[in-house]
Amino acid sequence: MTTIEKSVDVDVPVTTAYNQWTQFESFPRFMEGVESITQLTPTRTHWVTKVAGAQREFDAEITEQHPDERVAWRSVDGPKQAGVVTFHRLDDRSTRVHLQMEFDPDTLTEKAGAALGVVDHRISGDMKRFKEFIEGRGVETGAWRDDVNRPPQTR
C-alpha cells in the first residue's frame, strides 16, 4: 500500500471549500486523469480515469462525511484505494485542505509510477488546481451537507 499526504491553503471560507469538494462531478475540471465522475447515489460515485493511456472504471463510496470537517471514501471495485480529505479553518477567509490517500498499485506501470513519485506529483498538481478552481470562482458550484457516519468496525 502506498500512502500520499498533501495539503493546500485556499483563500475561501471552510464552508466554501468543503461544499465544492462534495461536488464530485466537477473533479475532472481540476484532477488530471479523471475523465468523468457520475454521482450514482448520495454516497456512491462511478469514476472513469485515463492514466498513461489506460482507461479504468470503478465505483467509490463515501464511508464518512461531516460538513466542514471531512469526507472519507474507499473504492468498492477496481483499483484498491481509500482516503480522507479534511478541512481546517485558518481564519474567516482561508482554509487548509488536507488529503491523505492510500492506494495499492496494480500493474507494473502503476508500481513504477508510485516508486518514481509520479502519483505524488500528480496529486500535488490536483491540489494546486483545486486551489485555482475554487479561488477563481470564489463560490462553490453546489453543496451536499449530509452527515455520513463511519460504519461500525467488525472483527
The structural domain count of the chain equals 1
CATH number at residue 16: 3.30.530.20
Radius of gyration of the chain (CA): 15
Nearest one of 83, 122, 75 to 102, comparing CA atoms: 83
Domain assignment present for 123? yes
Q: pLDDT of 8-28, one tens digit each?
A: 999 999 999 999 999 999 999
> Could you report the per-residue pLDDT of 81-90, keeping only the tens digit for each?
999 999 999 9
- Residue 39 covered by a domain: no
In a domain, 34, yes or no: no
Give the three cell numbers for residue 21: 469538494
What is the DSSP annotation of 2-59? EEEEEEEEESS-HHHHHHHHT-GGGGGGTSTTEEEEEEEETTEEEEEEEETTEEEEEE
Specify if 38 maps to a domain: no
103 lies in a domain?
A: yes
Residue 81 included in any domain: yes
pLDDT value of residue 154: 66
Does residue 114 form part of some domain? yes
pLDDT per residue as tens digits for the range 59-77? 999 999 999 999 999 999 9
Q: Which grid coordinates belong to 34?
A: 479523471
Cell readout for 147 is 452527515
The range of the structural domain enclosing residue 131 comes to 2-22+63-137
Name 86's bridge partners: 70, 98
- Report the C-alpha gap between 18 and 20 in whole angstroms: 5
Residue 52, domain member (yes or no): no
